[in-house]
């Protein structure tokens, strides 16, 4: 069952990529492409995508332990970071001009930008922890209010039943 689900997910991803490549995409100027690729390198997007591919394949491996290692090795060789980056170029070009990208990259290469990039993973990790704690507390408050509302409605209905009897 897990193998079937994994296969369906893989096919869905493949069809999504194919569908995306057939849709009309924004034209990417040479200047934008240079700056987008520069940004990807500066921000470590290449390594992040590589890690995501590894995690995805590891997830598939766990759900399909009967699949030979050679298949996974072959699949990994086929999944190239550059292919994903190519698909992302039009997205960045859609939202950022070459001038914006150049300015952003210059910031990332500045001392402050380098500090931002160096601390961002830890900041994101800690932010997620704060967000999870907040979400849990908010969920508990919502659940308490819902329960109080239900109890109030139930109390309002019960006295009417006893007076009619």
Spell out the domain ranges in the chain. 2-109
pTM of this structure: 0.63
Instruction: State pLDDT tens for residues 6-54.
Output: 444 545 555 454 444 444 556 899 999 999 999 999 999 988 889 999 9
The whole-chain average pLDDT of the chain stands at 84
117-156 residue pLDDT tens: 999 989 988 999 999 999 999 999 999 999 999 999 888 8
Whole-number pLDDT of residue 159: 64
**One-character DSSP codes across the chain:** -HHHHHHHHHHHHHHHHHHHHHS------HHHHHHHHHHHHHHTHHHHHHHHHHHHHHHHHHH-TTS-HHHHHHHHHH--HHHHHHHHHHHHHHH--HHHHHHHHHHHHSHHHHHHHHHHHHHHHHHHHHHHHHHHHHHHHHHHHHHHHHHHHHHHHHHHHHHH-
pLDDT given for residue 121 in this prediction: 87
């Amino acid at each position: 069952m897990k193998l079937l689900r994994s296969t369906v997910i893989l096919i869905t991803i493949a069809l999504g990529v194919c569908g995306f490549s057939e849709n009309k995409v924004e034209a990417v100027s040479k200047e934008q492409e240079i700056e987008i690729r520069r940004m990807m390198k500066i921000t470590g997007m290449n390594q992040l995508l590589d890690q995501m591919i590894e995690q995805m394949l590891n997830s598939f491996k766990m759900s399909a332990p009967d699949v030979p290692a050679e298949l996974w090795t072959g699949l990994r060789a086929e999944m190239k970071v550059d292919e994903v980056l190519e698909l992302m170029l039009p997205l960045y070009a859609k939202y950022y001009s070459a001038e914006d990208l150049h300015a952003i990259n210059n910031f990332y290469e500045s001392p402050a930008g380098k500090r931002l990039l160096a601390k961002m993973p830890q900041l994101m990790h800690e932010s997620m922890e704060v967000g999870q704690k907040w979400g849990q507390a908010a969920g508990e408050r919502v659940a308490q209010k819902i329960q109080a509302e239900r109890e109030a409605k139930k109390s309002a209905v019960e006295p009417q039943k006893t007076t009619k009897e």
